[in-house]
Structure 1
Protein backbone atom coordinates (compact mmCIF):
# COMPACT_ATOMS: atom_id res chain seq x y z
CA UNK A 1 0.00 0.00 0.00
CA UNK A 2 1.09 3.54 -0.68
CA UNK A 3 -0.10 6.91 0.47
CA UNK A 4 -1.73 8.83 -2.36
CA UNK A 5 -3.58 12.12 -2.73
CA UNK A 6 -6.89 11.99 -4.55
CA UNK A 7 -8.64 15.18 -5.74
CA UNK A 8 -12.41 15.28 -5.43
CA UNK A 9 -14.94 17.83 -6.62
CA UNK A 10 -18.11 18.12 -4.59
CA UNK A 11 -20.78 20.79 -4.69
CA UNK A 12 -18.54 23.04 -6.72
CA UNK A 13 -15.75 23.03 -4.16
CA UNK A 14 -12.53 21.03 -4.41
CA UNK A 15 -11.57 18.64 -1.65
CA UNK A 16 -8.32 16.75 -1.36
CA UNK A 17 -8.30 13.60 0.70
CA UNK A 18 -5.27 11.55 1.62
CA UNK A 19 -5.62 7.87 2.24
CA UNK A 20 -4.19 4.45 1.55
CA UNK A 21 -4.63 3.42 -2.08
CA UNK A 22 -3.20 0.28 -3.72
CA UNK A 23 0.09 0.83 -5.52
CA UNK A 24 -1.63 0.25 -8.84
CA UNK A 25 -3.01 3.78 -8.20
CA UNK A 26 -6.61 3.25 -9.28
CA UNK A 27 -9.28 0.61 -9.19
CA UNK A 28 -9.29 0.88 -12.98
CA UNK A 29 -5.89 -0.86 -13.01
CA UNK A 30 -7.40 -4.09 -11.71
CA UNK A 31 -7.77 -6.62 -14.51
CA UNK A 32 -9.94 -9.54 -13.39
CA UNK A 33 -11.39 -12.54 -15.13
CA UNK A 34 -14.48 -10.42 -15.71
CA UNK A 35 -12.36 -7.84 -17.49
CA UNK A 36 -11.16 -10.52 -19.90
CA UNK A 37 -14.81 -10.98 -20.80
CA UNK A 38 -15.07 -7.28 -21.48
CA UNK A 39 -17.48 -6.62 -18.63
CA UNK A 40 -15.35 -4.46 -16.36
CA UNK A 41 -13.28 -1.30 -16.53
CA UNK A 42 -9.54 -1.69 -16.67
CA UNK A 43 -7.72 1.56 -17.31
CA UNK A 44 -4.42 2.15 -15.57
CA UNK A 45 -1.05 3.67 -16.30
CA UNK A 46 1.47 1.24 -17.77
CA UNK A 47 -0.96 -1.64 -18.22
CA UNK A 48 -1.69 -3.47 -21.44
CA UNK A 49 -5.40 -4.13 -21.73
CA UNK A 50 -6.40 -7.76 -21.97
CA UNK A 51 -10.07 -6.93 -22.46
CA UNK A 52 -9.81 -6.91 -26.25
CA UNK A 53 -8.18 -10.33 -26.56
CA UNK A 54 -9.93 -12.66 -28.98
CA UNK A 55 -12.19 -15.22 -27.35
CA UNK A 56 -12.67 -18.76 -28.60
CA UNK A 57 -16.41 -18.16 -28.82
CA UNK A 58 -15.95 -15.25 -31.28
CA UNK A 59 -16.16 -17.57 -34.29
CA UNK A 60 -19.54 -18.85 -33.14
CA UNK A 61 -21.10 -15.40 -32.98
CA UNK A 62 -23.72 -14.50 -35.60
CA UNK A 63 -23.00 -11.67 -38.00
CA UNK A 64 -25.37 -9.13 -39.47
CA UNK A 65 -25.30 -7.82 -43.02
CA UNK A 66 -24.94 -4.07 -43.39
CA UNK A 67 -26.34 -1.62 -45.88
CA UNK A 68 -23.80 0.39 -47.88
CA UNK A 69 -24.63 3.43 -45.75
CA UNK A 70 -24.04 1.49 -42.54
CA UNK A 71 -20.76 0.12 -43.85
CA UNK A 72 -19.56 3.63 -44.66
CA UNK A 73 -20.57 4.99 -41.25
CA UNK A 74 -18.94 2.06 -39.44
CA UNK A 75 -15.70 2.57 -41.38
CA UNK A 76 -15.63 6.26 -40.48
CA UNK A 77 -16.17 5.45 -36.82
CA UNK A 78 -13.49 2.74 -36.91
CA UNK A 79 -11.09 5.25 -38.43
CA UNK A 80 -11.74 7.51 -35.44
CA UNK A 81 -11.24 4.64 -33.01
CA UNK A 82 -7.88 3.79 -34.60
CA UNK A 83 -6.38 7.23 -33.96
CA UNK A 84 -4.18 7.24 -30.83
CA UNK A 85 -3.81 10.40 -28.82
CA UNK A 86 -0.59 12.14 -29.87
CA UNK A 87 0.52 15.09 -27.79
CA UNK A 88 2.72 16.34 -30.63
CA UNK A 89 -0.23 16.82 -33.02
CA UNK A 90 -1.57 20.42 -32.95
CA UNK A 91 -5.17 19.25 -33.43
CA UNK A 92 -4.89 17.02 -30.38
CA UNK A 93 -3.29 19.79 -28.34
CA UNK A 94 -6.09 22.20 -29.25
CA UNK A 95 -8.74 19.64 -28.38
CA UNK A 96 -7.16 19.14 -24.96
CA UNK A 97 -7.04 22.89 -24.34
CA UNK A 98 -10.67 23.16 -25.47
CA UNK A 99 -11.63 20.49 -22.95
CA UNK A 100 -9.97 22.42 -20.15
CA UNK A 101 -11.69 25.65 -21.20
CA UNK A 102 -15.05 23.89 -21.26
CA UNK A 103 -14.48 22.36 -17.85
CA UNK A 104 -12.96 25.39 -16.09
CA UNK A 105 -13.78 28.46 -18.23
CA UNK A 106 -12.68 30.91 -15.55
CA UNK A 107 -9.38 29.23 -14.73
CA UNK A 108 -6.36 29.67 -16.99
CA UNK A 109 -4.51 26.51 -17.95
CA UNK A 110 -0.78 26.77 -17.27
CA UNK A 111 0.26 24.03 -19.68
CA UNK A 112 -0.69 20.76 -21.35
CA UNK A 113 1.42 19.12 -18.68
CA UNK A 114 0.34 20.59 -15.37
CA UNK A 115 -0.77 19.57 -11.90
CA UNK A 116 -4.04 21.34 -12.74
CA UNK A 117 -5.21 18.34 -14.76
CA UNK A 118 -5.71 16.36 -11.56
CA UNK A 119 -8.61 18.71 -10.82
CA UNK A 120 -10.48 17.10 -13.73
CA UNK A 121 -9.76 13.59 -12.54
CA UNK A 122 -6.71 12.57 -14.55
CA UNK A 123 -4.20 10.33 -12.78
CA UNK A 124 -1.30 12.70 -13.14
CA UNK A 125 -0.19 16.00 -14.60
CA UNK A 126 -0.08 14.67 -18.18
CA UNK A 127 -3.51 13.50 -19.46
CA UNK A 128 -1.90 11.86 -22.50
CA UNK A 129 -0.80 8.94 -20.31
CA UNK A 130 -4.45 8.12 -19.60
CA UNK A 131 -5.64 8.18 -23.21
CA UNK A 132 -4.04 4.87 -24.17
CA UNK A 133 -7.21 2.98 -23.29
CA UNK A 134 -9.49 5.09 -25.46
CA UNK A 135 -7.34 6.98 -27.95
CA UNK A 136 -8.15 10.38 -29.39
CA UNK A 137 -11.84 9.50 -29.66
CA UNK A 138 -12.09 9.43 -25.86
CA UNK A 139 -11.01 13.07 -25.82
CA UNK A 140 -13.50 13.86 -28.59
CA UNK A 141 -16.23 12.18 -26.54
CA UNK A 142 -15.49 14.31 -23.48
CA UNK A 143 -15.39 17.46 -25.60
CA UNK A 144 -18.69 16.58 -27.32
CA UNK A 145 -20.25 16.05 -23.90
CA UNK A 146 -18.97 19.39 -22.59
CA UNK A 147 -20.19 21.32 -25.63
CA UNK A 148 -23.58 19.69 -26.15
CA UNK A 149 -24.69 19.00 -22.58
CA UNK A 150 -22.74 21.54 -20.52
CA UNK A 151 -24.93 21.34 -17.43
CA UNK A 152 -24.78 17.54 -17.23
CA UNK A 153 -21.04 17.70 -17.90
CA UNK A 154 -20.48 20.18 -15.07
CA UNK A 155 -22.78 18.27 -12.71
CA UNK A 156 -20.69 15.13 -13.18
CA UNK A 157 -17.35 16.93 -13.11
CA UNK A 158 -18.17 18.67 -9.84
CA UNK A 159 -20.25 15.81 -8.39
CA UNK A 160 -23.19 18.13 -7.79
CA UNK A 161 -26.03 15.63 -7.81
CA UNK A 162 -27.10 13.13 -5.18
CA UNK A 163 -25.65 11.84 -1.94
CA UNK A 164 -21.99 11.40 -2.92
CA UNK A 165 -19.55 9.00 -1.34
CA UNK A 166 -16.38 10.17 0.38
CA UNK A 167 -14.24 8.41 -2.25
CA UNK A 168 -15.59 9.36 -5.68
CA UNK A 169 -14.58 8.05 -9.11
CA UNK A 170 -12.17 10.36 -10.99
CA UNK A 171 -14.25 12.09 -13.67
CA UNK A 172 -11.84 12.14 -16.62
CA UNK A 173 -10.45 8.63 -16.19
CA UNK A 174 -14.00 7.30 -15.83
CA UNK A 175 -14.79 8.99 -19.13
CA UNK A 176 -12.00 7.14 -20.92
CA UNK A 177 -13.25 3.88 -19.41
CA UNK A 178 -16.73 4.58 -20.79
CA UNK A 179 -15.37 5.11 -24.31
CA UNK A 180 -13.51 1.81 -24.10
CA UNK A 181 -16.52 -0.03 -22.69
CA UNK A 182 -18.77 1.18 -25.51
CA UNK A 183 -16.28 0.13 -28.19
CA UNK A 184 -16.26 -3.36 -26.69
CA UNK A 185 -19.98 -3.59 -26.00
CA UNK A 186 -20.87 -2.57 -29.56
CA UNK A 187 -18.09 -4.71 -31.07
CA UNK A 188 -17.01 -1.74 -33.16
CA UNK A 189 -13.66 -3.15 -34.22
CA UNK A 190 -15.29 -6.05 -36.08
CA UNK A 191 -15.93 -5.93 -39.83
CA UNK A 192 -19.64 -6.27 -39.16
CA UNK A 193 -21.66 -6.48 -35.93
CA UNK A 194 -21.92 -9.87 -34.24
CA UNK A 195 -24.52 -8.95 -31.62
CA UNK A 196 -28.03 -7.50 -31.78
CA UNK A 197 -26.85 -4.54 -29.71
CA UNK A 198 -24.12 -3.76 -32.24
CA UNK A 199 -26.53 -4.13 -35.15
CA UNK A 200 -29.06 -1.81 -33.53
CA UNK A 201 -26.41 0.81 -32.88
CA UNK A 202 -25.31 0.83 -36.53
CA UNK A 203 -28.89 1.57 -37.52
CA UNK A 204 -28.73 4.72 -35.41
CA UNK A 205 -25.23 5.56 -36.62
CA UNK A 206 -26.37 5.53 -40.26
CA UNK A 207 -29.02 8.10 -39.36
CA UNK A 208 -26.85 10.24 -37.08
CA UNK A 209 -23.08 10.43 -37.53
CA UNK A 210 -22.76 11.67 -33.93
CA UNK A 211 -24.56 8.62 -32.54
CA UNK A 212 -21.47 7.25 -30.78
CA UNK A 213 -20.75 10.58 -29.09
CA UNK A 214 -24.40 10.93 -28.06
CA UNK A 215 -24.50 7.40 -26.69
CA UNK A 216 -21.33 8.23 -24.75
CA UNK A 217 -23.08 11.16 -23.05
CA UNK A 218 -26.09 9.01 -22.21
CA UNK A 219 -23.84 6.28 -20.82
CA UNK A 220 -21.85 8.67 -18.63
CA UNK A 221 -25.02 9.99 -17.02
CA UNK A 222 -26.40 6.48 -16.67
CA UNK A 223 -23.18 5.34 -15.01
CA UNK A 224 -23.39 8.17 -12.48
CA UNK A 225 -27.06 7.37 -11.88
CA UNK A 226 -26.12 3.75 -11.19
CA UNK A 227 -23.30 4.95 -8.92
CA UNK A 228 -25.76 6.91 -6.80
CA UNK A 229 -28.44 4.22 -6.86
CA UNK A 230 -25.94 1.59 -5.71
CA UNK A 231 -24.49 3.97 -3.10
CA UNK A 232 -21.15 3.09 -4.60
CA UNK A 233 -17.69 4.13 -3.52
CA UNK A 234 -14.22 3.96 -5.04
CA UNK A 235 -13.81 0.17 -4.94
CA UNK A 236 -17.26 -0.43 -6.48
CA UNK A 237 -16.48 1.12 -9.86
CA UNK A 238 -16.24 -2.19 -11.75
CA UNK A 239 -19.61 -3.31 -10.39
CA UNK A 240 -21.14 0.01 -11.41
CA UNK A 241 -19.75 -0.30 -14.94
CA UNK A 242 -21.18 -3.82 -15.26
CA UNK A 243 -24.60 -2.62 -14.10
CA UNK A 244 -24.41 0.31 -16.53
CA UNK A 245 -23.60 -1.97 -19.44
CA UNK A 246 -26.46 -4.35 -18.62
CA UNK A 247 -28.95 -1.51 -18.42
CA UNK A 248 -27.71 0.09 -21.63
CA UNK A 249 -27.93 -3.19 -23.55
CA UNK A 250 -31.46 -3.71 -22.25
CA UNK A 251 -32.53 -0.25 -23.40
CA UNK A 252 -30.93 -0.58 -26.82
CA UNK A 253 -32.82 -3.82 -27.46
CA UNK A 254 -36.21 -2.44 -26.46
CA UNK A 255 -39.03 -2.62 -29.00
CA UNK A 256 -40.15 0.46 -30.93
CA UNK A 257 -36.82 2.21 -30.42
CA UNK A 258 -36.31 4.52 -33.40
CA UNK A 259 -33.55 6.85 -32.19
CA UNK A 260 -31.13 7.20 -29.29
CA UNK A 261 -33.20 10.04 -27.88
CA UNK A 262 -35.91 7.46 -27.18
CA UNK A 263 -33.70 5.62 -24.68
CA UNK A 264 -35.09 5.99 -21.13
CA UNK A 265 -31.63 7.01 -19.91
CA UNK A 266 -31.54 9.92 -22.36
CA UNK A 267 -33.90 11.70 -19.97
CA UNK A 268 -31.04 11.85 -17.44
CA UNK A 269 -29.24 14.36 -19.65
CA UNK A 270 -29.92 18.06 -19.06
Structure 2
Protein backbone atom coordinates (compact mmCIF):
# COMPACT_ATOMS: atom_id res chain seq x y z
CA UNK A 1 0.00 0.00 0.00
CA UNK A 2 2.70 2.48 0.95
CA UNK A 3 4.63 1.90 -2.28
CA UNK A 4 1.64 2.78 -4.48
CA UNK A 5 0.78 5.83 -2.42
CA UNK A 6 4.34 7.15 -2.46
CA UNK A 7 4.53 6.76 -6.23
CA UNK A 8 1.47 8.92 -6.75
CA UNK A 9 2.19 11.53 -4.08
CA UNK A 10 5.95 12.02 -3.83
CA UNK A 11 7.54 14.87 -5.74
CA UNK A 12 11.08 16.19 -5.89
CA UNK A 13 14.10 13.97 -5.34
CA UNK A 14 13.34 10.48 -6.58
CA UNK A 15 10.02 11.62 -8.06
CA UNK A 16 9.31 13.06 -11.48
CA UNK A 17 12.12 14.27 -13.69
CA UNK A 18 12.90 17.97 -13.55
CA UNK A 19 12.18 19.25 -17.03
CA UNK A 20 11.26 22.73 -18.16
CA UNK A 21 10.26 23.91 -21.59
CA UNK A 22 13.60 24.88 -23.19
CA UNK A 23 12.02 28.06 -24.53
CA UNK A 24 10.88 29.19 -21.09
CA UNK A 25 12.43 32.28 -19.52
CA UNK A 26 15.42 31.41 -17.31
CA UNK A 27 14.67 34.18 -14.84
CA UNK A 28 11.81 34.51 -12.36
CA UNK A 29 9.52 37.51 -11.94
CA UNK A 30 12.19 39.21 -9.83
CA UNK A 31 14.87 38.90 -12.48
CA UNK A 32 16.69 36.18 -10.56
CA UNK A 33 17.91 32.94 -12.19
CA UNK A 34 15.41 30.16 -11.64
CA UNK A 35 16.28 26.88 -9.98
CA UNK A 36 15.51 23.64 -11.83
CA UNK A 37 12.08 23.25 -10.24
CA UNK A 38 11.21 26.91 -9.68
CA UNK A 39 8.22 28.63 -11.27
CA UNK A 40 8.24 32.18 -12.61
CA UNK A 41 6.66 33.39 -9.39
CA UNK A 42 9.49 31.89 -7.33
CA UNK A 43 7.56 28.85 -6.11
CA UNK A 44 8.54 25.19 -6.14
CA UNK A 45 6.66 23.55 -8.98
CA UNK A 46 6.03 20.37 -6.96
CA UNK A 47 4.31 22.45 -4.30
CA UNK A 48 2.24 24.29 -6.93
CA UNK A 49 1.25 20.99 -8.53
CA UNK A 50 0.20 19.65 -5.13
CA UNK A 51 -1.77 22.82 -4.45
CA UNK A 52 -3.54 22.43 -7.78
CA UNK A 53 -4.68 18.95 -6.85
CA UNK A 54 -5.90 20.02 -3.40
CA UNK A 55 -7.73 22.97 -4.96
CA UNK A 56 -9.49 20.67 -7.44
CA UNK A 57 -10.37 18.29 -4.61
CA UNK A 58 -11.77 21.12 -2.46
CA UNK A 59 -13.50 22.86 -5.39
CA UNK A 60 -11.52 26.08 -4.93
CA UNK A 61 -11.80 27.51 -8.43
CA UNK A 62 -9.57 30.57 -8.04
CA UNK A 63 -6.65 28.73 -6.48
CA UNK A 64 -6.93 25.92 -9.04
CA UNK A 65 -6.93 28.46 -11.90
CA UNK A 66 -3.88 30.26 -10.53
CA UNK A 67 -1.88 27.07 -9.94
CA UNK A 68 -2.58 25.87 -13.48
CA UNK A 69 -1.67 29.27 -14.92
CA UNK A 70 1.55 29.40 -12.89
CA UNK A 71 2.71 25.99 -14.11
CA UNK A 72 1.80 26.73 -17.73
CA UNK A 73 3.54 30.09 -17.91
CA UNK A 74 6.65 28.74 -16.17
CA UNK A 75 7.46 26.08 -18.75
CA UNK A 76 5.91 23.21 -16.79
CA UNK A 77 2.83 22.70 -18.96
CA UNK A 78 3.75 19.04 -19.44
CA UNK A 79 3.62 18.62 -15.65
CA UNK A 80 0.30 20.46 -15.47
CA UNK A 81 -1.45 18.32 -18.09
CA UNK A 82 -0.02 15.09 -16.72
CA UNK A 83 -1.37 15.93 -13.27
CA UNK A 84 -4.78 17.11 -14.50
CA UNK A 85 -5.32 13.81 -16.29
CA UNK A 86 -4.58 12.05 -13.00
CA UNK A 87 -6.91 14.31 -11.04
CA UNK A 88 -9.95 13.52 -13.18
CA UNK A 89 -9.70 9.85 -12.18
CA UNK A 90 -8.29 10.31 -8.68
CA UNK A 91 -10.29 13.24 -7.30
CA UNK A 92 -13.53 13.45 -9.25
CA UNK A 93 -16.66 11.35 -9.16
CA UNK A 94 -16.78 8.70 -11.89
CA UNK A 95 -18.67 9.71 -15.01
CA UNK A 96 -17.67 13.36 -15.00
CA UNK A 97 -17.43 14.53 -18.62
CA UNK A 98 -14.63 16.90 -17.65
CA UNK A 99 -12.18 14.09 -18.40
CA UNK A 100 -12.86 14.59 -22.10
CA UNK A 101 -12.68 18.37 -21.77
CA UNK A 102 -9.23 18.21 -20.18
CA UNK A 103 -7.96 16.14 -23.08
CA UNK A 104 -9.38 18.64 -25.57
CA UNK A 105 -7.94 21.64 -23.73
CA UNK A 106 -4.53 19.96 -23.68
CA UNK A 107 -4.74 19.25 -27.40
CA UNK A 108 -5.48 22.92 -28.09
CA UNK A 109 -2.78 24.18 -25.75
CA UNK A 110 0.00 21.89 -26.92
CA UNK A 111 -0.77 21.02 -30.54
CA UNK A 112 -2.54 24.05 -31.94
CA UNK A 113 -0.92 26.70 -29.78
CA UNK A 114 2.13 27.08 -27.56
CA UNK A 115 1.59 25.91 -23.94
CA UNK A 116 3.17 28.95 -22.27
CA UNK A 117 1.73 31.68 -24.52
CA UNK A 118 -1.60 33.31 -23.67
CA UNK A 119 -3.83 30.88 -25.54
CA UNK A 120 -2.06 27.93 -23.97
CA UNK A 121 -2.40 29.53 -20.54
CA UNK A 122 -6.12 30.14 -20.86
CA UNK A 123 -6.56 26.51 -21.89
CA UNK A 124 -4.79 25.58 -18.65
CA UNK A 125 -7.09 27.88 -16.67
CA UNK A 126 -10.16 26.47 -18.42
CA UNK A 127 -9.13 22.91 -17.62
CA UNK A 128 -8.42 23.69 -13.98
CA UNK A 129 -11.74 25.50 -13.57
CA UNK A 130 -13.61 22.63 -15.20
CA UNK A 131 -12.00 20.17 -12.80
CA UNK A 132 -12.66 22.36 -9.76
CA UNK A 133 -16.33 22.75 -10.75
CA UNK A 134 -16.88 19.03 -11.24
CA UNK A 135 -18.14 16.81 -8.42
CA UNK A 136 -15.20 15.90 -6.20
CA UNK A 137 -14.81 12.40 -4.84
CA UNK A 138 -12.03 10.10 -3.71
CA UNK A 139 -14.11 7.04 -4.55
CA UNK A 140 -11.69 5.44 -7.01
CA UNK A 141 -8.51 5.64 -4.86
CA UNK A 142 -10.54 4.71 -1.77
CA UNK A 143 -11.86 1.66 -3.62
CA UNK A 144 -8.39 0.74 -4.85
CA UNK A 145 -6.94 0.98 -1.35
CA UNK A 146 -9.76 -1.07 0.18
CA UNK A 147 -9.52 -3.81 -2.45
CA UNK A 148 -5.73 -4.02 -1.96
CA UNK A 149 -6.10 -4.17 1.81
CA UNK A 150 -8.82 -6.81 1.51
CA UNK A 151 -6.62 -8.88 -0.81
CA UNK A 152 -3.76 -8.74 1.69
CA UNK A 153 -6.00 -9.63 4.66
CA UNK A 154 -7.59 -12.44 2.66
CA UNK A 155 -4.22 -13.92 1.73
CA UNK A 156 -2.96 -13.72 5.31
CA UNK A 157 -6.10 -15.42 6.62
CA UNK A 158 -5.77 -18.14 4.00
CA UNK A 159 -2.21 -18.80 5.10
CA UNK A 160 -3.42 -19.20 8.71
CA UNK A 161 -6.31 -21.42 7.64
CA UNK A 162 -8.85 -18.86 8.86
CA UNK A 163 -11.75 -16.89 7.42
CA UNK A 164 -10.70 -13.31 6.58
CA UNK A 165 -11.99 -10.54 8.82
CA UNK A 166 -12.11 -8.35 5.69
CA UNK A 167 -13.11 -9.91 2.37
CA UNK A 168 -13.94 -8.86 -1.16
CA UNK A 169 -17.51 -7.58 -1.68
CA UNK A 170 -18.48 -10.80 -3.47
CA UNK A 171 -17.42 -13.07 -0.59
CA UNK A 172 -17.90 -16.70 -1.66
CA UNK A 173 -18.15 -16.23 -5.41
CA UNK A 174 -19.44 -19.54 -6.75
CA UNK A 175 -22.52 -21.07 -8.44
CA UNK A 176 -25.49 -21.17 -6.14
CA UNK A 177 -24.32 -18.15 -4.17
CA UNK A 178 -25.55 -14.58 -4.16
CA UNK A 179 -23.98 -13.85 -7.56
CA UNK A 180 -25.14 -17.07 -9.18
CA UNK A 181 -26.44 -15.21 -12.25
CA UNK A 182 -22.85 -14.43 -13.30
CA UNK A 183 -22.30 -18.11 -14.07
CA UNK A 184 -24.07 -18.17 -17.42
CA UNK A 185 -23.13 -19.58 -20.83
CA UNK A 186 -20.17 -17.18 -21.02
CA UNK A 187 -18.38 -19.00 -18.19
CA UNK A 188 -17.06 -22.54 -17.86
CA UNK A 189 -19.13 -23.19 -14.76
CA UNK A 190 -22.31 -21.93 -16.43
CA UNK A 191 -21.73 -24.05 -19.52
CA UNK A 192 -21.25 -27.14 -17.38
CA UNK A 193 -24.55 -26.33 -15.66
CA UNK A 194 -26.28 -26.26 -19.06
CA UNK A 195 -27.05 -22.57 -18.86
CA UNK A 196 -27.44 -21.46 -22.45
CA UNK A 197 -29.36 -18.76 -24.24
CA UNK A 198 -32.51 -19.28 -22.18
CA UNK A 199 -30.77 -18.61 -18.88
CA UNK A 200 -28.83 -15.66 -20.25
CA UNK A 201 -31.79 -13.85 -21.79
CA UNK A 202 -34.06 -14.51 -18.82
CA UNK A 203 -31.56 -13.68 -16.06
CA UNK A 204 -28.14 -12.55 -17.28
CA UNK A 205 -29.14 -9.69 -19.60
CA UNK A 206 -31.34 -7.80 -17.14
CA UNK A 207 -30.55 -4.16 -16.29
CA UNK A 208 -31.57 -1.88 -13.51
CA UNK A 209 -32.86 -0.59 -11.32
CA UNK A 210 -33.97 2.01 -13.89
CA UNK A 211 -34.81 -0.79 -16.33
CA UNK A 212 -35.03 -0.77 -20.11
CA UNK A 213 -36.73 2.06 -21.95
CA UNK A 214 -39.83 1.22 -23.98
CA UNK A 215 -38.00 0.75 -27.27
CA UNK A 216 -35.31 -1.49 -25.84
CA UNK A 217 -37.90 -3.56 -23.95
CA UNK A 218 -39.88 -3.95 -27.20
CA UNK A 219 -36.79 -5.20 -29.04
CA UNK A 220 -35.95 -7.65 -26.26
CA UNK A 221 -39.51 -8.98 -26.27
CA UNK A 222 -39.36 -9.49 -30.05
CA UNK A 223 -35.92 -11.11 -29.84
CA UNK A 224 -37.19 -13.60 -27.29
CA UNK A 225 -40.27 -14.32 -29.39
CA UNK A 226 -38.00 -15.07 -32.38
CA UNK A 227 -35.51 -17.12 -30.34
CA UNK A 228 -35.24 -20.89 -30.83
CA UNK A 229 -36.26 -21.28 -27.18
CA UNK A 230 -39.98 -21.14 -26.46
CA UNK A 231 -39.91 -18.57 -23.65
CA UNK A 232 -42.89 -18.34 -21.34
CA UNK A 233 -44.60 -14.98 -20.93
CA UNK A 234 -43.38 -15.01 -17.32
CA UNK A 235 -39.78 -15.33 -18.47
CA UNK A 236 -40.16 -12.55 -21.02
CA UNK A 237 -41.67 -10.19 -18.45
CA UNK A 238 -38.91 -11.00 -15.99
CA UNK A 239 -36.21 -10.38 -18.61
CA UNK A 240 -37.39 -6.83 -19.21
CA UNK A 241 -38.35 -5.99 -15.63
CA UNK A 242 -35.98 -3.64 -13.76
CA UNK A 243 -33.60 -5.17 -11.26
CA UNK A 244 -34.77 -4.60 -7.68
CA UNK A 245 -32.81 -1.66 -6.24
CA UNK A 246 -32.57 -3.39 -2.85
CA UNK A 247 -32.00 -6.93 -4.16
CA UNK A 248 -29.94 -6.42 -7.29
CA UNK A 249 -28.83 -10.06 -7.50
CA UNK A 250 -32.05 -11.79 -6.52
CA UNK A 251 -33.28 -14.07 -9.33
CA UNK A 252 -36.21 -16.49 -9.35
CA UNK A 253 -36.15 -19.85 -11.10
CA UNK A 254 -38.78 -20.97 -13.59
CA UNK A 255 -40.15 -24.50 -13.71
CA UNK A 256 -39.80 -24.86 -17.48
CA UNK A 257 -36.29 -23.40 -17.58
CA UNK A 258 -33.74 -25.54 -19.40
CA UNK A 259 -30.33 -25.17 -20.94
CA UNK A 260 -29.99 -24.16 -24.56
CA UNK A 261 -27.45 -22.43 -26.76
CA UNK A 262 -27.86 -19.35 -28.89
CA UNK A 263 -27.53 -20.00 -32.60
TM-score (norm 2): 0.24
Would you tell me which structure has more strand in proportion to its own residues?
A: 1
Structure with bigger RCO (C-alpha 8 Å, 6+ apart): 1
